[in-house]
Structure formats: C-alpha cells, structure tokens
Amino acid sequence: MWKEWPLVAFTIAGQMAVGFFLVAGFPLFLLDGSHAVGTTREEGLAVLAVVLGLLVAAALLSFFHIHHPLRARSSLVNIRTSWLSREIFFELVFIALVAVEIVLVWGVSAASGLSRGVHVAAALAGILFLLSMIRLYMLETLPLWNQAYTPLSFALTALSLGAIAAGFIWGGIFILLSLAFVAAEIVISFLLAPGHGVYRSRPTPSLRPPADVPRYLHPARLASSLAGLSLLGAALIWGRGRAVEGLNGKEWLVAAFALVLAGQLTGRFLFYGLLARPGR
Amino acid sequence: MVTQYGFFFDAAACSGCKACQMACKDRNDLEPGVLWRRVYEVAGGGWEKKGEVWVPSVVAYNVSMACNHCEKPVCGLSCPTKAIWKREDGIVFVDTDACIGCRYCEWACPYTALRFDARTNTVSKCDFCFEAIDAGGAPACVASCPRRALDFGDLAELRKKYGDVRQIFPLPDPSQTEPALVIKPHRDAARAAERAAEVANWEEV
Ligand code: SF4
Ligand code: SF4
C-alpha cells in the first residue's frame, strides 16, 4: 500500500489543482476593471501560479510511479482506448492553457475576452483531466473501484481542498463552501467506503489477493477530516468577512487545510491498498 | 489457420502438483516471485447436518491459470503505450521495449496474469510459448502436466471437443474480457461460493 505514494501524491496534487482552479478561479473569471468580488489582478495571478505549480509537481511526481521515465512520451499513443493516455493528455492541455492564461493576465488584462476564453477552455481541460482520472479506475474488472465512491471522492477531494485554499485568499463564502465540501466528503467516506475500514476486504470471487490495509487507517482518516471540519467552522466564526482582517481566521484555515489534506492522503492510501497486486 | 489460440483446463483431473507452474518458470527462466502460470488451491466447507447426521461438505480443488489471451484484452485496451498487442493467431504479447512499467495493466487484468519483472522493469506474462507453437510443439505447461489436465489449440476446436464452460469459482465473469479458455469444472465448484470457499495458497500465487 505505501509503495503507491507517487500515485497518491499525483492524484491529490492534480485534483487539488483542478479544484483550486475551478473554485478560486471563478472570481478571476468575473474579474473586470472594478475588481469583481474584491479580486485584484495579483490575487488572480497568485491563484494561477499555484495551480500551475501543483500541476507541474503532479507531473513530476508521476515519474516516480513509472519504471521507464525516459519512455514516458509514448504514454500518449493510446488515446483511442486508454483512460490513462487520456488523463495524461488532458493534464498536459490543462498545464498549457493555465500557462497561457498567466501570460495573458500578466501581460494583457484579465478582463480581455481572450483571457476569459482561455480560462473557460482551461476549466474544461481541468474537468476532463479529473474525469479521466476517475474513469481510469472505474473498470468493470475492478469491482472495488467501479463504484460511486470513486467519482464522488475524487471530485470532493478537488473541491474541498480547492475551496479551503480559496477561503485562505478570500475568506467568506469560500470557507462556507469548503465546509460543505468537507462535510460531504466525510459523509460519503462514512457511507460508501465501509470496505476501506475492513482488514482483508475484497469482493469474491476473485483471483486478486486480499488487501493488506491496516484497520486503524479508516477511522484515523475520518477523525482527521472531522477535526479539519471543526477548524473550518472556527475559521468562519473568527475570520468573518475577509479572512485577512483577522489573522486568527487564517491560522485556523491553515490548520484545517493540513488536517483535511492528511485525511485525503490517508483515504487515498486506503483506496490503492484495497487492490493488491500479486508478486513484487 | 488458427485465429484464436486458447487453453483447456480440466479441474476435475488436476491434482495440484504444480508441474505446469514450475515448467513455465523453468522454460521462461522467471525470477522468484514472477509467475506466468499459477495453481490456485480452492478450499472451503466443513461439516453439514443432514437429518440427524453430520456429513462432510468440504470443497477442495485446484485451478491452473495463466494469461487467457482474451478476445477482449482489457490489459491492452488500458495500456497507454500500446505495449500489449494481439497476434493474428490471438496470442497476446507484451512488448517490453515499449512498456513504461506503469503497472496499470496489472490492475486491469482480472486474472492477475501480468506480473512485474524487476529484471526488465516492465510487466511480463505468458506468451503461449509461441516459439514452441510456431515450431509445431506445445506450451511447456501443457506438455508437463502428468494428469493431462491442460490442453491447447484453436479455441473453436477446443470448444467442439470440451464444451464452452469458461468460468468456475473463483474466476471472474468471462464477459469482462472474453478469455480464450475452456474449463471442465470440478464437481465441488458449483457449491464453492455457497460454502464460502477461498483460495488457500495466496503466498504461492
Ligand atoms: S488474461 Fe489478462 S493479461 Fe491475458 S489477455 Fe486477458 S486481460 Fe490481458
Ligand atoms: S505496465 Fe507496460 S504494458 Fe502495462 S499498461 Fe503500463 S505500459 Fe502498458
């Protein structure tokens, strides 16, 4: 299970990039001369830079997962039938469009029609990247992953981490949004991933060996997310309005982010741990 | 001309000696831990009360399994590099020069036929002993079985000879990959699920 750390890191970083772009990028899309929803161009650029940084980090981390990184280029050749090829393709398109948007917002204007067009195209690429990431685990031959939990948890990882990060910049409505997403994530983990808590769980009949998932990880993951949820509530109370006004709100948010992220990482290790690969 | 090679496995005849597993390892010079053919020991049941008497309800049989050179090879359909391909005669190959070692196909194949080989840093699997076949011989596993529990040939011919059963417990639903496989079931197989049978030798497969 632990040996899947590059995949855990890749999927979480990639999903966070998508979520941050979609949630925090929304005010950027609305940005006009009058600083829509209080957004400055610098804040917009900061959002785009973080998204790009996360995507590049995700791409680099994925190299630790493959055993012939120098052949990585050929992973795009089977777009016709492989969701893995599609995932890589859409990630590259997403990276390119975010980079173009940075150049446009920096050099031209966030309010230009062109940068808004690029923003919408990048959002679409990000969504397709997330969908391919979900779909590649939902094969008929993988009953443990081919369930509602996979799309829901991947999407909620993106949205909750993205919304907390947006809350850090803009506070207010974004903290409320992150509360809703994290709560939803906890509910689906509790209801739809009970197998994650059961040692040696797997569907039978199967030629796949039983999963070797430590039993304590499922409750630990729920506890971490619940603690993060409580801190988000605290951040909402202490950092009313724009979080920047009360430093307290920001500190709560950083702690909440760390706890929710720890919950997501644990949940993702469990996810991969469920499907053991026989042999080495 | 053969359009789809396939294997036949007689679960009623297999004694679980694992000669096929070892012949495969030997012929292909596989590293410890890399198994292209495995023999799963299926075991379950116990005692059942019938009227006033307790009778044994033991389930015990073996399943010898390699790559089934599927007609719908999900391994190849999932591979991002097209490193898994199907020859005209249906044999499914891994091109180790194209494989990037992402190990996605290992998850996709429900028969766990693909195994990571640390020597090449790629996946590897049964190639149907294609060199022997091309020279008119037989796969090592088939040739080695002392109980003649394995056979191979054109899938259409195998079906004519042995019927069309493709699944026994604990194999997956064959509609997932359309395996080129014909099985003669062991008499215990029909009640394996209800008697909570399980593979009993995970450390060996
Ligand atoms: S048994 Fe597995 S590896 Fe072999 S062709 Fe079918 S899906 Fe591919
Ligand atoms: S491990 Fe190799 S053969 Fe398997 S999916 Fe990845 S590139 Fe393809």
ipTM of the complex: 0.91
Domain ranges, residue B60 = 5-204
User: Which stretches of chain B drop beneath a pLDDT of 70?
Assistant: none
A117 and A22 fall within a common domain: yes
Q: Is the distance from the beta carbon of residue B83 to the nearest atom of ligand 2 less than 6 Å?
A: yes
A232 vs A256: CA distance, rounded Å: 6
Identify the H or E element spanning A99.
helix A83-107
The CA–CA distances, whole Å, from A58 to A6, A89, A273, B44 equal 9, 14, 20, 45
Domain ranges, residue A75 = 1-137
| CB of B100 closer than 8 Å to CB of A72 | yes
Q: Compute the distance from residue B113 Cα to the ligand 1 centre, in Å.
A: 6
Judged by phi (left if over 0) then psi (alpha if -120 to 50, else beta), residue A184 lies in alpha
**What is the total count of domains within chain A?**
2
A223 and A276 fall within a common domain: yes
Q: What residue's CA is closest to ligand 2, atom 2?
A: B99
| CB of A184 closer than 8 Å to CB of A163 | no
Q: What residue's CA is closest to ligand 2, atom 4?
A: B105
The ligand whose atoms approach the alpha carbon of B166 most closely is: 1
A119 and A198 fall within a common domain: no
Quote the crossing angle between the two packed helices A5-30 and A173-192, to the nearest 10°: 150
Identify the H or E element spanning A122.
helix A113-135
CA distance A108 to chain B (A): 38
Q: Is the distance from the beta carbon of residue B108 to the nearest atom of ligand 2 less than 6 Å?
A: no
The ligand whose atoms approach the alpha carbon of B78 most closely is: 2
Tokens describing residue B93: 């190959």
B71 vs B66: CA distance, rounded Å: 15
Q: What residue's CA is closest to ligand 1, atom 2?
A: B109
Q: Is the distance from the beta carbon of residue B182 to the nearest atom of ligand 2 less than 6 Å?
A: no
| CB of A24 closer than 8 Å to CB of A169 | yes
pLDDT of residue A191: 85
Judged by phi (left if over 0) then psi (alpha if -120 to 50, else beta), residue B31 lies in beta
Identify the H or E element spanning A21.
helix A5-30
B85-119: pLDDT as tens digits: 999 999 999 999 999 999 999 999 999 999 999 99
Closest CA to A260 of A171, A172, A189: A189
CA distance B141 to chain A (A): 20
Ligand 2, residue B95: give the atom nearest the CA.
Answer: 3
A144 vs A201: CA distance, rounded Å: 10
The ligand whose atoms approach the alpha carbon of B66 most closely is: 1
Q: Using CB atoms within 10 A of its CB, is residue B86 exposed (0-12), middle (13-18) or buried (19+)?
A: middle
Q: Confirm whether A153 is domain-assigned.
A: no
A119 and A200 fall within a common domain: no
The preferred substitution site among B75, B86, B99, B104 for testing ligand 1, maximizing ligand atoms within 8 Å of CB, is B75
pLDDT tens-digit profile, chain A (280 residues): 788 999 999 999 999 999 999 998 877 666 554 444 456 777 788 889 999 999 999 999 999 999 999 998 999 999 999 999 999 999 999 999 999 999 888 876 656 677 788 999 999 999 999 999 999 999 999 988 998 999 999 999 999 999 999 888 877 788 899 999 999 999 999 888 766 655 445 566 789 887 777 878 889 999 999 999 999 988 877 665 444 444 456 788 899 999 999 999 999 999 998 887 887 6
Per 3-state DSSP, what percentage of chain A is helix, strand, and coil (rounded to 5)? 75, 0, 25
Q: Confirm whether A163 is domain-assigned.
A: no
A8 vs A267: CA distance, rounded Å: 9
Q: Confirm whether A85 is domain-assigned.
A: yes
Does B100 contact A76 at a Cβ distance shorter than 8 Å?
no
Strand B92-94 to strand B115-117: parallel, antiparallel, or no bridges (unpaired)?
unpaired
A202 lies within 8 A of chain B by CB: no
pLDDT of residue A234: 83
pLDDT of residue A241: 45
Q: Confirm whether A280 is domain-assigned.
A: yes
Q: Is the distance from the beta carbon of residue B177 to the nearest atom of ligand 1 less than 6 Å?
A: yes
A175 and A264 fall within a common domain: yes
A93 and A187 fall within a common domain: no
